[in-house]
């Protein structure tokens, strides 16, 4: 059954208040609800339908009198009075039997909830839609020292707690937690002087992994006050870490619930990347308090309203806390890797989709990351001051609303006077625009002209794309590397458009799409000399990195298709950048990166060639070997100069140095053998250095001893063991990857029902391009076996992992046939979930 945006109708009733009482029991939890309904004057239709799934209805009453509603497996309908009335129901649910991790479930002995998007209907009968907002009071009874829900605590007793949330909210923001937990606590005073109690609740044993998350929380609270003027609005803010969780985290009002991998951190057990990600996710969920909770979404088609904006806000936060250039480059790598693949394949959909079968399948890179890019473009177009004014108006006008993308754009139109009709296409059209640029130089007049053409390939979701509004940031550089024209934002609206720069003495080199100012695929025919000039001199750190990346890609493609040796000029230019001590170490570490295998496969496919995963793998290996040989002395120097030998701090400065020394170590191991990596492994007192040394050893074929020691050292730490599982797959030789994954599934600690552990093995396999796409087809078959096994237990995680197959049309006929066989095999399994069948039928095509 498909749901359409165009079918939106308001619900026939308003909910004035909700009171819920939980009597907790692992298999027989009782939930009593008392809900005050009245007719919604804005609604035509007044059918009283309440969502409800997997509930056992014990009793139902209206105004105190028993009623007999008509119940299906999707919900119930009932005849109701015209006047306001009180609905009361009691249902029984089975949290321990809930392996889908949606609704109320148990994880490691504790009760917890995940209601977004449509999980509340597995807790009780309710209008489970985001435009129905109400005030919740929650009573929890159960033999657990910690009993939590949303809002402020009103009563706490032995095995009993009551919570009241004064802010109206939709049901998807409901949360409940109960268990034997310990708190790491702090306090925050808001800008108007409100004292807020902060708690991070964890299972006993994890207390030592809370400090960083708490610091990230207070930093986020302060940042949102300073940058967006947003203040926290309750007396308490709780975060809970849960081991079994389908996603990263959830912004439930006043009670954020986190995948423990997204909040627990210590130097010994977490890498620098983990720390940075945790800081960003804490910020993301906290920022949702305004962009998501105080202003929520009218319906799930508007998901990007809260997610795109909140991702954009958390990226601003990370830029402020760390390095803006490094953050931007990392985000673009991620966007190209995940969002472009989605937007250019069978799963392509607009940032605001217009139809879906299962909304959980639309928590995508397009909604989140492209949604954030759209906000960034809007800000570039209107400018920082206008953006700030528009946001102030948004918060003022829509506080308490369930809003739409139209509402969002209107505040920009009203504050700037701009017409955003065309810009709105970014929300309605799928597909990545291709932007081509050609240059003309009029030496006599000193005029340089850039002519752009844009074209978005049609897709099933958008058969007739129209031109987008593109902010294109451009700077001009002279042959000596100096600037001739500072950055200027060109605003392109037509399919083809020219822009001129006059008053020039000599032909400049154009640095186009600085900062990656629009999420497009750029084709700019620069000569190698011009790219080398940009790599050496561009003042825009993104485009400087991009010049190096393009040279790397071209070198790799030549190796793949012609067997040529890695480009010596690129290597020499790169070496100069590496040795430039005025550049941040983290930035130089990024410069040492290469385009991913998937990126190369896509580029080949785009230019009409069929990618051969084995050839790509060999070319990347050969290029890395060549880099190692060419840079050996520079790398040794960099390693010695930047190795961190003071106590570990997860900050940007130290983590940048570790990123650089670890990138150097990985290359040095190729030419100098395993001794260096073994030494780092033996001396490491933090996970960042321990894990990268282990990776280097595994890749060199000398990791067996360290791997066994690692397991011995960390067998009791779930999050570290996820790394141990994942690393073995990601570092395996292509022909071994599926086998390694399969062997790991026999390990006593392979708990496949835990999403983190499942992803550690199978996410790593899917990401191992040459391994997953090995010509034997073993990777495809193994993943399919396990998706078939997981689907009845956890449809959400299964459906999400199906995207491993989304690029299948890129490959040769033999691989396509093998993948098709596996897709059909999964599709044929009995009682396949709605989640997985929607994903597979979209990927598979008609
Ligand atoms: N709103 C959460 C976040 O982005 C994600 C919740 C996803 N839930 C889901 N069932 N897909 O922070
Ligand atoms: Zn979010």
Residue 165, helix vs strand vs coil: strand
What would the pLDDT profile of 147-170 be if each residue is shown by its tens digit?
999 999 999 999 999 999 999 999
Q: What is the pLDDT of residue 205?
A: 97
Per the CB < 8 A criterion, the answer to whether 624 and 578 are in contact is: no
How long a stretch of residues is the chain? Answer: 846
DSSP 432: P
> Average pLDDT, stretch 823-841?
97
Catalytic residue list contains 817:
no
DSSP 338: I
Q: What is the pLDDT of residue 846?
A: 63
- Tell me which residue has its CA closest to atom 2 in ligand 1: 250
pLDDT at 105 over 90: yes
> Average pLDDT, stretch 422-435?
98
DSSP 83: S
Residue 114 pLDDT grade (very low, low, confident, very high; cuts 50, 70, 90) = very high
The DSSP element (H or E) to which 583 belongs, if any, is none
Q: What is the pLDDT of residue 45?
A: 83
Ligand 1 midpoint to CA 363 (Å): 7
Per the CB < 8 A criterion, the answer to whether 625 and 565 are in contact is: no
Residue 46 pLDDT grade (very low, low, confident, very high; cuts 50, 70, 90) = confident
H helices then E strands: how many in the chain? 28, 31
> Average pLDDT, stretch 618-628?
98
How many whole angstroms separate alpha carbon 772 and alpha carbon 769?
Answer: 5
Ligand 1 pocket test, pick from 103, 112, 114, 116 with the greatest ligand atom count within 8 Å of Cβ, gives 116
What would the pLDDT profile of 743-800 be if each residue is shown by its tens digit?
999 999 999 999 999 999 999 999 999 999 999 999 999 999 999 999 999 999 999 9
Ligand 2 midpoint to CA 286 (Å): 9
Contacts of residues 522-528 at CB distance under 8 Å and 24 or more positions apart, as own/partner, are 522/435, 522/436, 522/437, 523/434, 523/435, 523/436, 523/437, 524/436, 524/437, 525/438, 528/554, 528/569
What would the pLDDT profile of 69-80 be if each residue is shown by its tens digit?
999 999 999 999
What would the pLDDT profile of 390-426 be if each residue is shown by its tens digit?
999 999 999 999 999 999 999 999 999 999 999 999 9
Q: What is the pLDDT of residue 175?
A: 99
Pocket of ligand 1 (CB under 6 A): 116-117, 247, 249-251, 284-285, 307, 360, 363
DSSP 248: S
pLDDT at 245 over 70: yes
pLDDT at 551 over 90: yes
pLDDT at 569 over 70: yes
Residue 516 pLDDT grade (very low, low, confident, very high; cuts 50, 70, 90) = very high
Nearest to 452 by CA among 386, 503, 499, 513: 499
Residue 264 pLDDT grade (very low, low, confident, very high; cuts 50, 70, 90) = very high
Residue 442 pLDDT grade (very low, low, confident, very high; cuts 50, 70, 90) = very high
pTM of the model: 0.99
CB atoms within 10 A of CB 2: 8
Closest ligand to residue 362's CA: 1
Exposed / middle / buried, residue 582 (Cβ in 10 Å: 0-12, 13-18, 19+)? exposed
> Average pLDDT, stretch 308-331?
98
> Average pLDDT, stretch 518-546?
98
Q: Could you give the C-alpha distances from 65 to 60, 80, 81, 87, 98, in angstroms and in order?
A: 8, 11, 12, 10, 32
ipTM metric: 0.98
Ligand 2 midpoint to CA 336 (Å): 20
What would the pLDDT profile of 204-233 be if each residue is shown by its tens digit?
999 999 999 999 999 999 999 999 999 999
Catalytic residue among 285, 307, 546, 838: 285
φ and ψ at residue 788, rounded to 5 degrees? -60, -40
> Average pLDDT, stretch 376-383?
98
């Amino acid at each position: 059954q498909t749901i359409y945006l165009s079918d939106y109708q308001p619900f026939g009733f308003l909910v004035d208040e909700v009171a819920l009482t939980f009597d907790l029991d692992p298999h027989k939890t009782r939930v009593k609800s008392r809900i005050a309904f009245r007719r919604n004057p804005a609604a035509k239709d007044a059918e009283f339908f309440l969502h409800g799934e997997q509930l056992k209805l014990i009793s139902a009453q209206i105004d105190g009198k028993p009623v007999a509603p008509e119940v299906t497996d999707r919900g119930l309908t009932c005849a109701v009075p015209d006047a306001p009335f009180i609905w009361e129901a009691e249902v029984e649910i089975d949290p321990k039997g809930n392996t889908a991790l949606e609704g109320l479930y148990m994880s490691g002995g504790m009760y917890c909830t995940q209601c977004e998007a449509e999980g509340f209907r597995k807790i009780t009968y309710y209008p489970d839609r985001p435009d129905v907002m109400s005030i919740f009071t929650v009573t929890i009874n159960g033999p657990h020292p910690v009993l939590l829900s949303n809002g402020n605590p009103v009563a706490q007793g032995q095995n009993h707690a009551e919570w009241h949330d004064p802010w109206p909210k939709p049901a998807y923001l409901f949360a409940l937690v109960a268990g034997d937990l310990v708190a790491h606590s702090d306090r925050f005073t808001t800008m108007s002087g409100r004292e807020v109690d902060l708690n991070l609740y964890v299972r006993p044993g994890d207390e030592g992994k809370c400090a960083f998350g708490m610091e990230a929380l207070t930093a986020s609270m302060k940042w949102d006050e300073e940058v967006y003027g947003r203040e926290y609005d309750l007396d308490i803010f709780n975060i809970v870490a849960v081991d079994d969780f389908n996603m990263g985290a959830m912004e439930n009002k006043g009670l954020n619930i986190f995948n423990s991998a997204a909040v627990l951190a210590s130097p010994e057990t977490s890498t620098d990347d983990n720390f940075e990600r945790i800081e960003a996710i804490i910020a993301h969920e906290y920022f949702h308090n305004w962009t998501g909770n105080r202003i929520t979404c009218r319906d799930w088609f508007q998901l990007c309203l809260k997610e795109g904006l909140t991702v954009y806000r958390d990226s601003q936060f990370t830029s402020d806390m760390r390095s803006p250039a490094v953050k931007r480059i990392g985000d673009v790598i991620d966007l190209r890797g995940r969002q472009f693949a989605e937007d250019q394949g069978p799963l392509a959909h607009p940032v605001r989709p217009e139809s879906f079968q299962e909304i959980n399948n639309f928590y995508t890179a397009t909604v989140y990351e492209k949604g954030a890019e759209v906000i960034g473009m809007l800000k570039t177009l209107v400018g920082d001051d206008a953006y700030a004014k528009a946001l102030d108006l948004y918060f003022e006008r829509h506080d308490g609303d369930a809003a739409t993308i139209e509402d969002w754009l209107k505040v920009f139109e009203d504050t700037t006077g701009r017409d955003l009709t065309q810009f709105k296409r970014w929300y309605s059209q799928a597909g990545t625009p291709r932007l081509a640029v050609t240059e003309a130089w009029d030496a006599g007049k000193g005029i340089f002209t850039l002519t752009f053409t844009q074209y978005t390939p049609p897709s099933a979701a958008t058969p007739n794309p129209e031109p987008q509004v593109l902010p294109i940031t451009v700077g001009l550089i002279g042959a000596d590397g100096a600037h001739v024209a500072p950055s200027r934002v060109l605003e392109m609206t037509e399919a083809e458009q020219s822009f001129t720069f006059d008053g020039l003495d000599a032909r400049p080199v154009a640095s186009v799409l600085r900062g990656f100012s629009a999420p497009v695929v750029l084709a700019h025919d620069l000569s190698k000399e011009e790219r080398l000039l940009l790599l050496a001199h561009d003042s825009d750190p993104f485009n400087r990195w991009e010049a190096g990346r393009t040279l790397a890609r071209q070198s790799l493609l030549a190796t793949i298709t012609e067997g040529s040796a890695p480009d010596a000029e690129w290597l020499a230019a790169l070496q100069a950048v590496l040795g430039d001590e005025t550049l941040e170490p983290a930035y130089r570490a990024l410069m040492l990166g290469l385009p991913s295998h998937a990126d190369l496969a896509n580029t080949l496919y785009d230019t009409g060639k069929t990618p051969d995963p084995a050839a790509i793998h060999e070319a990347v290996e050969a290029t890395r070997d060549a880099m190692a040989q060419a840079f050996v002395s520079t790398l040794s120097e960099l390693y010695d100069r930047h190795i961190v030998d003071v106590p570990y701090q997860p900050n940007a400065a130290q983590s940048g140095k570790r990123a650089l020394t670890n990138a150097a170590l990985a290359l040095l191991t190729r030419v100098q053998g395993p001794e260096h990596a073994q030494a780092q492994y033996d001396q490491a007192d933090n996970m960042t250095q321990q894990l990268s040394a282990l990776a280097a050893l595994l890749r060199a074929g000398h990791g067996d001893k360290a791997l066994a020691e690692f397991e011995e050292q960390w067998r009791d730490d779930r999050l570290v063991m996820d790394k141990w599982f994942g690393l073995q797959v990601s570092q395996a030789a292509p022909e071994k990857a599926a086998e390694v994954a399969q062997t790991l599934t026999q390990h006593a600690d392979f708990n496949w029902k835990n999403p983190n552990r499942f992803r550690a093995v199978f996410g790593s396999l899917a990401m191992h391009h040459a391994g997953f796409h090995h010509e034997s087809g073993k990777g495809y078959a193994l993943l399919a076996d396990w998706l078939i096994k997981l689907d009845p237990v956890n449809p959400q995680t299964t459906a999400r992992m199906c995207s491993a197959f989304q690029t299948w049309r890129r490959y040769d006929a033999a691989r396509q046939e093998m993948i098709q066989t596996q897709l059909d095999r999964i599709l044929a399994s009995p009682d396949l979930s709605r989640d997985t069948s929607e994903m597979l039928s979209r990927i598979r095509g008609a």
